[in-house]
Amino acid sequence: MSVWEYAPAPESRDLANLRPNYRPFVDGEFVDGGGDPLTSLNPATEEPLAEVGTASESDVDAAVRAARRAFEQVWGPMPGAERAKYLFRIARLLQERARELAVLETLDNGKPIKESRDSDVPTAAAHFFYHAGWADKLDYAGYGPDPQPLGVAGQIIPWNFPLLMLAWKIAPALATGNTVVLKPAETTPLSALVFAEICQQAGLPAGVVNIVPGAGDVGSLLVRHPGIDKIAFTGSTAVGKEIQHAVAGTPKRLTLELGGKAANVVFDDAPLDQAVEGIVGGIFFNQGHVCCAGSRLLVQESVAEELLGKLRARVSTLRLGDPLDKNTDIGAINSAEQLAKIRELTASGEDEGAERWTSPCELPERGFYFAPTVLSGVEQSMRVAREEIFGPVLSVLTFRTPDEAVTKANNTPYGLSAGLWTEKGSRILWLADRMRAGVVWANTFNRFDPAAPFGGYQESGFGREGGRTGLEAYLHV
Amino acid sequence: MSDRVSVAKTYKLYIDGKFPRSESGRTYPVTDAEGGFLANASHASRKDVRDAVSAARKAFGGWSGATAYNRGQVLYRVAEVLEGRREQFAAEVAACEGVPTADAMCTVDAAVDRWVWYAGWTDKIASVLGAANPVAGPYFSFTVPEPTGVVGVLAPQSSSLLGLVSVLAPVVATGCTAVVVSSADRPLPAITLSEVLATSDVPGGVVNVLTGRADELGPWLASHADVNAIDPTGASAESRVDIAQQASGTVKRVLTVPGDEPDWTRRPDISRLRRYLEAKTVWHPKGT
């Protein structure tokens, strides 16, 4: 069979308007951070992209004070209808600068341009657009008349969806009348600092949004700062537990969106080709750097071999390589550290007896890459069935009966998401009731919308983002 | 006054629908407000906490899986049986809290009414907190509230019945199951309430009642991996910090509660129900 090669279709790197230096954003101005500057790498090439100033303790302090002042003097007293118009402006500016942001995000994160272009950036804009409308309608949100904001929110976001996670955090906080100090992830700070510029362009009052780049120590300063009323964190369960511990006994409010080990359950009556697409999207989207990734495939024994065959064939066609190429399906792993973790956990799966199959795709010589991998014959006791890998590695287990599927799916301390594949409607609803997870995708996977609440059960965290439910995280209720 | 000697009641724990003594063999004397001896209560231990948690976990599937209508009927039945024991509760509240019997009777009535109020929420809260989500795509997306799981409840120390009902009823109304640590010095209404629960149609294990010290048992509940949420109301200020820290080990939901006991006679809102509910969002494609 002849193979049709794709011609290279790279998006222009110039669109990112990359600058050599980026700086923290405090009280409406870009400032020289007092912390040691960090260098953000392009994980696809390992080349430095830009130098980024980081926040020192006094910068964090200044940011919190600015946010407090803005909350008390400007943003808090402002009528909701006026706040809304700033959020609409931000949504529009994000749409207008979408190409720039998509390319920048791909350079800084390593994700394929088609994902940053078609998913991250438009969904980020949608979050601002959706929440803008809430700002003057909070009386109708179900929390009684005139629900009050919490004050200053400290927000800490991960590197897997830098701009989108920023939108999930900032949009509801501002809509409900809070001001924010946000720390982007150490390896992906750039889009947040361009967002700061968008805040300036939107004429957002100084101090309403402050961005303090840095590593975990800056996050820790935020978590412990007495001037902060609320912490919102998205990231690993281990760090989430540390934050919950640190906040314990203080009046700070807390919401956590943590890790997951989602089951993607395929029954023998599922449309297998459709299921294969969903399984592939569920685990290989964004290189598997997704907290709700369908990382445990639970397949009914009678169709396991057939499904695995189809799955391997489909995964073999995934194109791994330059994230800026519009045909690329799998981009770069975000950091050397994450790559090492993925390798270590995958190797542990092999050591514990799983069968490893890896896509025969070629890996670029430079950059952090990991070929899509399927581990079959996985048992529940193996680390690859219990621990979040956060990479393009799928663990395959089997089941015989619906009850066994439920038991295995729920056999995890996490509870963020679950996938179900069956043509039988009554079975979907029966299973959806029994999945101990905050999001259940039936005959689809990885769907996100600002109108649909997202968040976990158990050790996947507490609080929701999106929808009417998500407003609760930023209101005195 | 007859010469008859009354039959004194033995107050025990309530675990998994049964009334065991503490496995530790410990008891402590309970006195009335003037210091007069009332009874010896079981002094629950860490092992009792573990037994109670495993009973609550075992009961969770059935209770959370029951229809909301059924849960509502069972909880209403509890109110009926409570009503029938008004005199006994009033006597115990009066003795424990040192209030006149007439006041105690008002408190009992308020507790029964509170229970009825929560019983009526079982089949309504989902329509108040749930939603059909207008997502931008060909999907049906809806959000439903579901019970978070096993809840550890450190009941108020002062309000021995109304306070207890105010913190327990919302837990079971949502479909969660409970491990309650009663007021340490005023435990008798809690044990009598467990007799009511045992003789209503509440399945064993849905509510488990331990008498003992909140500051001693709270941290064990907070660190137990099979407990999903904890209400620290009955713990001291210092202990609440410890409890909140222990709870972080398994990302438990810890209720934010006021420093001092609130006025339990105030009309409640649905915030306690909301705390024990998880929002679950379900998606399905349309048209394919």
- Residues whose CB falls within 8 Å of the CB of residue A424, separated by 6 or more in sequence, listed in order: A267, A269
Q: Which of residues 444-463 of A touch B (CB under 8 A)?
A: 444, 447, 449, 451-455, 457-462
Residue A115: active-site member? no
* Contact list, A428 vs chain B (CB under 8 Å): 284
Tell me how crowded residue A4 is: count the other CB atoms within 10 A of its CB: 5
Please name the amino acid found at residue B240. R
Cα A197 from Cα A17, distance rounded (Å) = 13
Tens of each residue's pLDDT in chain A, 477 residues: 567 788 999 999 999 999 999 999 999 999 999 999 999 999 999 999 999 999 999 999 999 999 999 999 999 999 999 999 999 999 999 999 999 999 999 999 999 999 999 999 999 999 999 999 999 999 999 999 999 999 999 999 999 999 999 999 999 999 999 999 999 999 999 999 999 999 999 999 999 999 999 999 999 999 999 999 999 999 999 999 999 999 999 999 999 999 999 999 999 999 999 999 999 999 999 999 999 999 999 999 999 999 999 999 999 999 999 999 999 999 999 999 999 999 999 999 999 999 999 999 999 999 999 999 999 999 999 999 999 999 999 999 999 999 999 999 999 999 999 999 999 999 999 999 999 999 999 999 999 999 999 999 999 999 999 999 999 999 998
Does A388 touch chain B if contact means CB atoms closer than 8 Å? Answer: no
Stretch(es) of chain A classified as CATH 3.40.605.10: 13-258+457-474
Q: Establish if A244 touches chain B: CB-CB under 8 angstroms.
A: yes
- Which residue of B273, B283, B286 to mutate against A (max A Cβ within 10 Å)? B283
Query: What residue type is assigned to position A387 of the chain?
Result: E
- Strand residue runs (E) in A175-286: 179-183, 209-211, 230-234, 253-257, 263-266
By the 8 A CB rule, do A410 and A434 touch?
A: yes
Residues in CB range of A340: below 8 A, 6 or more apart: none
pLDDT of residue A4: 79
Residue B166 C-alpha, separation from nearest chain A C-alpha, in angstroms = 18
β-bridge pairing A263-266 and A417-421: parallel
Higher-confidence residue: B27 or B10? Answer: B27
Cβ atoms within 10 Å of A476's Cβ, excluding its own: 14
The pairing of strands A253-257 and A230-234 is parallel
Closest CA relative to residue A325, chosen from A125, A150, A103: A103
Q: What are the residues facing A395 on neighbouring strands?
A: A296, A375
User: Which residue, B237, B221, B229, B208, is CA-closest to B42?
Assistant: B208
Chain-centroid distance of CA A10 in Å reads: 25
CB atoms closer than 10 angstroms to residue A220: 18
CATH 3.40.309.10 region(s) of chain A?
263-442
CB contact (8 A) between residue A451 and residue B148: no
Per-residue pLDDT, B130? 97
**Mutating which of A457, A471, A476 best tests the B interface, going by the most B Cβ atoms within 10 A?**
A457
What type of residue is A22? Y
The DSSP annotation for A123-174 comes to HHHHHHHHHHHHTT-GGGSSS-SSPPB-SEEEEE--SSSHHHHHHHHHHHHH
Burial (CB < 10 A; 0-12, 13-18, 19+), residue A273, is exposed
Nearest to B251 among A258, A433, A453 (CB): A258
How many residues comprise chain B? 288
Residue B2, pLDDT above cutoff 80? no
The dihedral over CA atoms of A305, A307, A309, A315, expressed in degrees to the nearest 10, equals: -150
3-state secondary structure of A325: strand
Interface of A with B in 405-444 (CB under 8 A): 413, 428, 432-433, 435, 437-444
Name the fold adopted by B38-285. Aldehyde Dehydrogenase; Chain A, domain 1 (3.40.605)
Indicate the residue of B134, B254, B284 with minimum beta-carbon distance to A443: B284
B9 pLDDT band (50/70/90 cuts)? confident
Q: Is B245 on the interface with A (CB under 8 A)?
A: yes
Confidence of residue B1 (pLDDT cuts 50, 70, 90): low
Strands B139-147, A393-399: pairing is unpaired
Nearest Cα neighbor of A227 from A367, A89, A57 is A57
pLDDT tens sequence across B37-58: 999 999 999 999 999 999 999 9
Catalytic residue among A11, A186, A257, A387: A257
What residues have CB less than 8 Å from A409, skipping those under 6 apart? A263, A265, A296, A298, A418, A435
Q: What is the DSSP letter of A223?
A: H
Cβ contact A468:A142 at 8 Å? yes
Give the number of beta-carbon pairs within 8 Å between A and B: 117
Contact A104, A16 (CB under 8 A): yes
Tokens of B132: 């059909």
Measure in Å the smallest separation between the Cα of A413 and chain B Cα atoms. 8
Length reported for chain A: 477
At the top level of CATH, the class of A13-258+457-474 is alpha beta
Residue of B nearest to A244 (CA): B248
CATH ID of A263-442, from 3.40.309.10, 3.90.1010.10, 3.30.70.920, 3.30.43.10: 3.40.309.10
Pairwise CA distance, residues B171 & B178, whole Å? 7
Task: Strands of A201-294 (E only): list them.
Answer: 209-211, 230-234, 253-257, 263-266
A 10 A CB-CB count for B146 gives 22
Contact of A236 with chain B, judged by CB distance below 8 Å, is answered with no
Are B185 and B98 a contacting pair, CB within 8 Å? no
| Pairing of β B27-31 and β B37-42 | antiparallel
Under DSSP, is residue B185 helix (H, G, I), strand (E, B) or coil? Answer: coil
Where along chain B do its domains lie? 38-285
> Are the Cβ atoms of B283 and A459 closer than 8 angstroms?
no
Residue B144 has pLDDT above 70, yes or no: yes
B33 touches chain A (CB under 8 A): no
Q: Are A7 and A325 in contact (CB under 8 A)?
A: no
ipTM of the complex: 0.97
